[in-house]
Amino acid sequence: MRILHTADWHLGRILGQHSLLDDQAYILRQFVDLAVEARPDAIVIAGDLYDRSVPPADAVTLLDDTLHELTDRCAAPVIAISGNHDSQQRLDFGARLLRHRGLHLFGSVGSAGVVQVGDTAFVAAPFGSRS
């Protein structure tokens, strides 16, 4: 089983007065190319996709573009869970529809589940908030 694992993208991060979005887009393009070349059996994104629970629109677009590229160009399922910086409800939106495309999003504890890839079961347990 080949697993490509990543985490803590923190899309939309601002350092001082400088947005890191262009740098993040550059790195994510390289990540997608690596995923295509490596041909993993599963791609796991373990939380903190965004830098804050209400990310800027361009960060949402970058995540959408990146996940679209991954699911279009890679045969491997993409399994992503929320982290403490993510809005659980925002990551849960559309998750049931996206599973048919090989994108498994788990935003809230209530959406936790198992993704079976061959003989390996991935237990997707998103960050649990106190609210």
Q: List the catalytic residues.
A: 85
Cα angle 123, 27, 7; round to 5: 20
CA pair distance 55, 11, nearest whole angstrom: 8
Cα angle 103, 94, 23; round to 5: 60
Backbone angles phi, psi at 29, to 5 degrees: -60, -40
